[in-house]
Amino acid sequence: MKNKFTSVNWIIGYLIFAVVSFSSCEEKHAKKDDKLHDTLNIADSLILAADKAKALMLLQTVDINNYSNKAQVVNYQVLYAIAEKKLAPIRSSLAQKTLKMFDDELFRDEHLDLYFKTLVLNGDVSYENGNQLTALNFYVEAKSLPLEKDCKKGYLFSRFAQLYSDQKDYVRAAEYNLKSYYLTKHCQEQKLLRASYYRPEMCLNNAGFFYFKNRQLDSAAKYYKLFEERIAEVEKAGEINTDYANLMRGILYDNLGGLNLKLGNLPLAEAYVQKSLAMNKDPKGDILIPPYLKLAEIYTLNGQYNKALLAFNKSRSLLDIKNQKPDLYTLLWYKKYADYFHRSNQPDSAFYYQKLYSDTSDSLALKNEEISNLDVAKEMKSIVERQELTKLRHSDQVRRIYVAGLIEFLVLILIIITLVYHNLRKVKRLHRESVKDNEAITSAIDELERANKNYIRIMRIMAHDLRNPLSGMSGLASALLDDDNFDEESSKMLKLIESTGLHSIEMINELLKTGLANEDTPIETQSLDLKALLYDSVELLQFKAKEKQQQIIFENQELDEPVFSKVNYEKVWRVLNNLLVNAIKFSLIGGVIKTGIKEYKSSIVIYVSDNGIGIADKDKESVFDMFTEAKRTGTSGEQPFGLGLSISRKIMEKHSGKIWFEGNVDVGTTFFIEFPKS
């Protein structure tokens, strides 16, 4: 009897132990699941705050293989795919893997919110991969779910708006953005996918932008203003912080800059674009590309070509950081850069970038051919019809298959006919455009050839008409020098005439080389004393200054040591002669011209300063251009040719040096030339 009681007690004890152990295990699993639930909530909040990098780092600390709760696994995979923006294959794999888990209809019916997220995720991934029709199918299916919440539909409308904008149906794109805004602005639910629009207010901005694209400028201005008011309201209510508010304002000001640029109000457009750039604190963000492109266009239209070039360079560097494949920003950059070269009178570069624009445009057109031929409204209707037909499967399966097959066949035939029709029209249009472009190019080439021949003919006439009298003058001076009847002063003047004539002939030869020879030809250099060369130039031109009662002062002759650099004597003499002659030409009678040389650690700088009529602001950017329009008659009526400074700059570039100037109108000008030390 005792043994029986002992056995019963042992069994009861074992059962109690098993129950306690099971309860303890269940409690551990519950705590573990609660911890994962909290982690996923934090990651979701980080994504909604646009901090996907932190969300990804948090999710990477979780080993999801240790969890068996299917709903949490799905939520984890969805959030991970949203946070992972850099590696597209991982996003695609997670989206497909998550969608597969909803093959279980019972699980799908129990977790419609998760199924909605999964459908939107797969739609976003399909859209990013260029499969717009597939994306549309996912979005329409998500919209058809029996979720009695307008917020979800609102977020889907923003996706439909994007598809319409890709089709260039900007009116519908704007309308869907407004629908999205009015459905979501009062939503309190914060656990929804918002991969493209983190705040409902952005839909107002997008609506304004699409009205702008459709040239409805009044409507664009209206919604931009409403967007600005909403930013202030939500910031004041504490829904967003100042940094995020300024980020949205930066986007707004960029769009307002584009609007005023379209209206021709360039000063206001520039002000808005500068405000947009100031609002963004990320110097490498691709959000800065549009404002820099607008700024480049504004400066180009204003003729501020140096500033325009800086803006183009900044936007180009951001494009290179953004991606390696051409996109719509790249296409826009080529177009505006070609216009910059056209307006700055650089036809070769303009033609080059215009061709890049044309080639890239054709490439992107082929890439986006699917969405261009996609009728979103029609496809949405077709998809809904197919979904309705699917619901009839249980009641009349045979009939459903027949009707669905017929509809799909008709849709396919319609798509094929539409594609063939559009392609034929496109081929004909491209052929006509190609013929016109070829004719225009041929005409332009012929015109350039004629202009080049005229240029060469003029240069040869100059060589013939100018060389002979100058050679005669130099020869006559040389012959007179052989006569001992002249005093020292007269001999010096004859020597000066001879030297000036020879140098003038060389200047003509250099001009001919500048226009006809290969500019990449290296020059011969030798180590020369630049101080002595400058002194000789000053002495040689003192007589010319005296004709206008002027004085040339060599300011630092007291330097005992020579200042050496590897240069070409004749070419550097020409630069010094150009600068001194210009100073004499544009200084008033009785003026003082100062020149000197300064030695630095790695360079030598020569300056020529005058107190003459100066250079106007509008001419400062073009004084170094060949045959520049920035020409002014000298103070004694001297005729300008617009060649000296252009030749001087080319000579300095050949010496790995540089030339620049400082000064203002009626104050005078100081020119500087810098040589590297030998």
Q: What is the pLDDT of residues 75-124, one digit of tens each?
A: 888 888 888 877 788 888 888 888 898 888 888 888 888 888 888 889 88
Q: Are 669 and 542 within one domain?
A: yes
Q: Are 573 and 604 within one domain?
A: yes
Number of residues written out for the chain = 678
Q: Which of residues 495 and 76 earns the better pLDDT score?
A: 76
Q: How far, in Å, CA of 480 to CA of 60, rounded?
A: 95
Q: Give yes or no for a contact between 668 and 655, defined as CB atoms under 8 angstroms apart.
A: no
Q: Are 513 and 596 within one domain?
A: no
Average pLDDT over residues 658-671: 89
416: pLDDT strictly greater than 80: yes
Q: Are 596 and 507 within one domain?
A: no
Q: What is the pLDDT of residue 302?
A: 92
CATH number at residue 589: 3.30.565.10
Q: Could you tell me the strand order of the sheet in which 668-676 lies?
A: 551-554, 592-599, 603-609, 668-676, 658-664
Structure tokens given for 601: 């650690």
Given 471, 504, 519, which residue is the final one in a domain? 519
Residues paired with residue 604 on neighbouring β-strands, in sequence order: 599, 675
214: pLDDT strictly greater than 70: yes
| Contacts for 576 with CB less than 8 Å, ≥ 6 apart | 533, 534, 537, 606, 608
Q: What is the pLDDT of residue 672?
A: 96
Average pLDDT over residues 518-542: 83
Angstrom distances, CA of residue 344 to CA of 332, 351, 466: 18, 13, 32
Q: Which of residues 554 and 244 earns the better pLDDT score?
A: 554
Given 471, 499, 519, which residue is the final one in a domain? 519
The DSSP 8-state label assigned to residue 66 in this structure reads G
Residue 111 lies in a domain: yes
Residue 84 lies in a domain: yes
How confident is residue 4, by pLDDT bands cut at 50, 70 and 90? very low
Q: What is the pLDDT of residue 518?
A: 46
Q: Are 489 and 556 within one domain?
A: no
Residues paired with residue 671 on neighbouring β-strands, in sequence order: 608, 661
Average pLDDT over residues 648-674: 90
The pTM of this model reads 0.50
Q: Name the CA radius of gyration of the chain, rounded.
A: 39
CATH number at residue 93: 1.25.40
Residue 668 lies in a domain: yes
Q: What is the pLDDT of residue 310?
A: 93
Q: Are 650 and 531 within one domain?
A: yes
Q: In this structure, which long-range contacts are made by residues 653-658, counting pairs with CB atoms below 8 Å and at least 24 apart in sequence? A: 654/522, 654/523, 654/568, 654/571, 655/523, 655/525, 655/567, 655/568, 655/571, 655/572
Q: Which of residues 330 and 638 earns the better pLDDT score?
A: 330
Average pLDDT over residues 590-619: 90
Q: Are 21 and 79 within one domain?
A: yes
Q: How far, in Å, CA of 105 to CA of 128, rounded?
A: 28
Q: Are 622 and 598 within one domain?
A: yes
Q: Are 491 and 559 within one domain?
A: no
Residue 436 lies in a domain: yes
Residue 266 lies in a domain: no
Angstrom distances, CA of residue 455 to CA of 100, 106, 468, 512: 73, 84, 20, 10
Q: Are 537 and 665 within one domain?
A: yes
Q: Which of residues 473 and 279 earns the better pLDDT score?
A: 279
Percentage with pLDDT > 70 across the chain: 78
How confident is residue 566, by pLDDT bands cut at 50, 70 and 90? very high
Compute the mean pLDDT over every residue in the chain, rounded to the nearest whole number. Answer: 80
Residue 429 belongs to what domain range?
Answer: 392-519
Q: Are 538 and 671 within one domain?
A: yes
Residue 458 lies in a domain: yes
Residue 308 lies in a domain: no
Percentage with pLDDT > 90 across the chain: 22
Q: Are 468 and 577 within one domain?
A: no
Q: Which of residues 7 and 564 earns the better pLDDT score?
A: 564
Q: Give yes or no for a contact between 553 and 581, defined as CB atoms under 8 angstroms apart.
A: no
Q: How far, in Å, CA of 199 to CA of 227, rounded?
A: 11
Average pLDDT over residues 541-555: 90
| Contacts for 462 with CB less than 8 Å, ≥ 6 apart | 508, 511, 512
Residue 614 lies in a domain: yes
Into how many domains does the chain fold?
Answer: 3
Q: How far, in Å, CA of 440 to CA of 438, rounded?
A: 5
Least confident of 98-102, 310-314, 374-378, 606-610: 374-378
Given 478, 496, 519, which residue is the final one in a domain? 519
Q: What is the pLDDT of residue 486?
A: 74
Least confident of 288-297, 411-420, 524-533: 411-420
Q: What is the pLDDT of residue 142?
A: 83
